């Protein structure tokens, strides 16, 4: 069953960022190779002056994939809202990946500003995809504000550390069983994507791990496969680890010596 | 052959040189009132194909590795053959591994070796990379001297808006106008760059130093007399307006991280320009009737202009396709 967010079916559970690639041509190839369900694009810096990033945005629209504009680089509620409104005009979509950065070093979201901005944007009719931490209370507040999707980090943006706290991710899955949960930020390797998908997450969003790879196009493909594998595994029912060895072939007819 | 070259940036002047060497009668026209109106004036002037390969295709090395000797031959003494030093703050030292994942032509250097190369950086960085084959030049001096040299070889220069029109008395036109050619080359896009000039007598560097930072990679190029060029941002935008506060904060922070004495340096200049690029960030020559467009040099103007200029001259002097003309590119990517 495909991932559905805000009444829209996505063709893939992998969402890909469009920044930091060696060239837009390679970015386009990577998006194609990953068959990404949506791409994110940042507007804050490029569009600070009257939509001057138009040529790049046109390249993004030409990809023919759902566009999820983001408010990366916004440090206040006001900046994020202005950027979201501009994104709606530029891309003709009410989707917005909401980022309100609170900490310069870790780029941790300012969760108070995030909830406030989410409330305002939801009231204005935006479909808000909030970049948040794995804090359950913040997640609840975001849902109350009108968010229908949650996007927790699993490690700081661009850190490539992979899931630092799988207990917290597990708890999040358990508390929000019916809400699409997409891990956004911190993934470094395909195995990280598989890991969070195995935890039952609905999708992953990444950028640096693909864009800065030696061969972004092949890495995009690897992440797509890993995301798929993790998702399939979570539906297939995985074994729980046990302490005692259990042979897959019974050792009938032999003496048990222990 | 009478050739009109539009655009007096690095591409236009390099093409003029290659054509004049082949015996063409060349006129260079630019709608600006003098040299220095375009992106070339804001360039770093690093002839650093191996460092650039970190974020570019292999063509940057193939086309760029002859650049330093071209500039040295055309303008003797202009090129500093001192290599490039790449350093990372201790916290980001592992990024050096990332940096070289896509390139060659370097040697890992220790703290002692860094101090030997750049005594003023003694004790500041534990590990770095040295690209010994690379070089740099002062782009503004290079453009000015090249203009003088071309004039001495009989090239006519026509500056000012009146020179927009009338190419009827020329056999061929070479358009090197960067983003101004957007109408003819709709795939072109602008990548905004912001930079600044600092002056301090307290620091001496002999070569470009690149500071690796996951968010704000920056280079500092010594220009002599205590002057340093600090650059440059890369923003997907064709906005030519003055630098933003945020960009300045990033550039200045990086300079300060390289050496705290930069905090007391004087800011001599803040500039911004728009680099022209095609979607693959590689340059190309596009022929349309009598006009050949040489464009898309992106952040590699001084590095790639010599190779592109040679190819443009070959295109004009033969009917054969140069390896970077449009038909060939389409064939290669098909």
Q: Taking the domains of chain B in order of start, what are their residue ranges?
A: 1-76+136-188+279-334, 84-132+189-277
Distance from CA of B309 to the nearest CA of A (A): 23
Q: What is the pLDDT of residue B163?
A: 57
Distance from CA of A148 to the nearest CA of B (A): 31
| A22–B57 C-beta distance less than 8 A | yes
ipTM value > 0.85: no
Q: What is the pLDDT of residue B319?
A: 56
Q: What is the pLDDT of residue B322?
A: 45
Q: What is the pLDDT of residue B54?
A: 85
Q: What is the pLDDT of residue B87?
A: 94
User: For an interface test with B, which of A24, A75, A107 has the most B Cβ atoms less than 10 Å from its Cβ?
Assistant: A24
**For the segment B129-152, what is each residue's pLDDT rounded down to a tens digit?**
999 999 999 999 999 999 999 999
pLDDT higher than 70, residue B24 = yes
CA nearest to B159, candidates B286, B68, B43, B32: B32
Q: What is the pLDDT of residue A256?
A: 62
Q: What is the pLDDT of residue A234?
A: 94
Contacts of B277 in chain A (CB under 8 A): 23
Q: How high does pLDDT run on average in chain B?
A: 90
Domain B84-132+189-277 has CATH 3.40.50.450: no
Contacts of A158 in chain B (CB under 8 A): 214-215
User: For an interface test with A, which of B178, B235, B236 has the most A Cβ atoms less than 10 Å from its Cβ?
Assistant: B236
Average pLDDT over residues A164-189: 94
Q: Which long-range contacts link B241-248 to residues 24+ away (Cβ below 8 Å)? A: B241/A49, B241/B272, B242/B270, B242/B272, B243/B194, B243/B195, B243/B196, B243/B270, B243/B271, B243/B272, B244/A45, B244/A48, B244/B194, B246/A45, B247/B194, B248/B194, B248/B196
Distance from CA of A108 to the nearest CA of B (A): 15
Residues in chain B whose Cβ is within 8 Å of chain A: 55-57, 98, 101-102, 188-190, 192, 214-215, 235-239, 241, 244, 246, 277, 279-282
What six digits make up the tokens of B310? 């040679």
pLDDT higher than 90, residue B320 = no
Average pLDDT over residues A135-149: 96
Contacts of B56 in chain A (CB under 8 A): 22-23
| B280–A26 C-beta distance less than 8 A | yes
| B279–A23 C-beta distance less than 8 A | yes
The CATH superfamily label for domain B1-76+136-188+279-334 reads NAD(P)-binding Rossmann-like Domain (3.40.50.720)
pLDDT higher than 90, residue A106 = no
Confidence of residue B321 (pLDDT cuts 50, 70, 90): very low
**For the segment B55-94, what is each residue's pLDDT rounded down to a tens digit?**
888 888 999 999 999 999 999 999 999 999 999 988 888 8
Supply the residues of A annotated as catalytic.
97
Residue A56: which of B215, B236, B280 has the nearest Cβ? B236
What is the 3-class SS of chain A, one letter each residue? CCCEECCEECCCCEEEECCCCCCHHHHHHHHHHHCCCEEEEECCCCCCCCCCCHHHHHHHHCCCCEEEEECCCCCCHHHHHHHHHHHHHHHCCCEEEECCECCCCCCCECHHHHHHHHHHHHHCCCEEEEEECCCHHHHHHHHHHCCCCEEECCCCCCCCCCCCCHHHHHHHHHHCCCCCEEEECCCCCHHHHHHHHHCCCCEEEECHHHHCCCCHHHHHHHHHHHHHHHHHHHHHCCCCCCCCCCCCCCCCCCCCCC
Q: What is the pLDDT of residue A151?
A: 97
Confidence of residue B323 (pLDDT cuts 50, 70, 90): very low
Contacts of A46 in chain B (CB under 8 A): 235-237
Confidence of residue A223 (pLDDT cuts 50, 70, 90): very high
Question: Which residues have a Cβ under 8 Å from the Cβ of B110 and sit 6 or more positions away?
Answer: B126, B127
**For the segment B180-217, what is each residue's pLDDT rounded down to a tens digit?**
999 999 999 999 999 999 999 999 999 999 998 877 78
């Amino acid at each position: 069953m495909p991932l559905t967010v805000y009444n829209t079916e996505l063709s893939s559970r992998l969402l890909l960022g469009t920044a930091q690639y060696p060239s837009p041509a390679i970015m386009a190839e990577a998006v194609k190779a990953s068959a990404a369900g949506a791409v994110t694009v940042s507007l804050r810096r490029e569009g600070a002056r009257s939509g001057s990033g138009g040529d790049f945005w046109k390249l993004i629209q030409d990809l023919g994939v759902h566009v999820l504009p983001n408010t990366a680089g916004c440090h206040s509620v006001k900046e994020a809202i202005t950027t979201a409104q501009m994104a709606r005009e530029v891309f003709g979509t009410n989707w917005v990946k909401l980022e309100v950065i609170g900490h310069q070093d870790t780029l941790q979201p300012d969760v108070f500003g995030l909830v406030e901005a989410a409330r305002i944007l939801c009231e204005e009719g935006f479909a808000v995809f909030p970049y948040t931490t794995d804090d359950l209370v913040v997640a609840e507040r975001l849902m109350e504000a009108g968010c229908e999707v949650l996007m927790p980090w699993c490690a700081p943006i661009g850190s490539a550390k992979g899931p630092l706290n799988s207990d917290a991710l597990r708890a999040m899955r358990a508390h929000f069983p019916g809400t699409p949960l997409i891990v956004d930020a911190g993934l470094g390797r395909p195995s990280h994507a598989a890991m969070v998908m195995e935890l039952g997450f609905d999708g992953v969003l990444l950028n640096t791990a693909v864009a800065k790879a030696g061969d972004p196009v092949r890495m995009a493909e690897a992440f797509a496969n890993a995301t798929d594998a993790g998702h399939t595994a979570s539906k297939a029912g995985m074994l729980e680890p046990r302490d005692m060895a259990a042979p897959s072939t019974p050792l009938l007819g032999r003496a048990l010596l222990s | 052959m009478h050739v009109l070259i539009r655009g007096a940036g690095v591409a236009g002047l390099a093409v003029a040189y290659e054509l004049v060497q082949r015996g063409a009668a060349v006129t260079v026209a630019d709608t600006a009132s003098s040299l220095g109106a375009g992106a070339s004036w804001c360039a770093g002037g690093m002839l650093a194909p191996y460092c650039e390969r970190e974020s570019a295709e292999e063509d940057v090395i193939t086309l760029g590795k002859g650049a330093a000797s071209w500039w040295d031959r055309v303008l003797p003494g202009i090129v500093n053959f001192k290599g490039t030093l790449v350093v990372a703050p201790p916290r980001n030292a592992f990024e050096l591994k990332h940096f070289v994942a896509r390139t060659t032509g370097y040697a890992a250097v220790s703290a002692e070796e860094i101090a030997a190369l750049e005594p003023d950086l003694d004790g500041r960085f534990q590990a770095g990379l040295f690209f010994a084959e690379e070089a740099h030049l002062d782009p503004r001096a290079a453009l000015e001297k090249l203009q003088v040299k071309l004039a001495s070889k009989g090239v006519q220069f026509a500056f000012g808006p009146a020179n927009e029109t009338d190419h009827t008395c020329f056999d061929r036109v070479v358009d090197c106008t960067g983003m101004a050619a957007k109408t003819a080359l709709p795939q072109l896009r602008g990548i905004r760059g912001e930079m600044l000039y600092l002056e301090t007598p307290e620091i001496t560097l002999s070569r470009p130093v690149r500071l690796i930072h996951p968010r704000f990679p920056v280079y500092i190029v010594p220009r002599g007399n205590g002057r340093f060029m600090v650059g440059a941002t890369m923003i997907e935008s064709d906005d030519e307006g003055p630098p933003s506060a945020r960009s300045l904060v990033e550039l200045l922070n990086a300079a300060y991280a390289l050496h705290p004495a930069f905090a007391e340096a004087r800011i001599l200049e803040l500039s911004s320009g728009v680099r022209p690029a095609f979607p693959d960030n590689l340059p190309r020559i596009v022929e349309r009737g009598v006009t050949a467009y040489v464009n898309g040099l992106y952040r590699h103007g001084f590095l790639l202009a010599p190779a592109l200029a040679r190819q443009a001259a070959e295109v004009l002097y033969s009917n054969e396709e140069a390896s970077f003309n449009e038909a060939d590119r389409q064939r290669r990517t098909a």
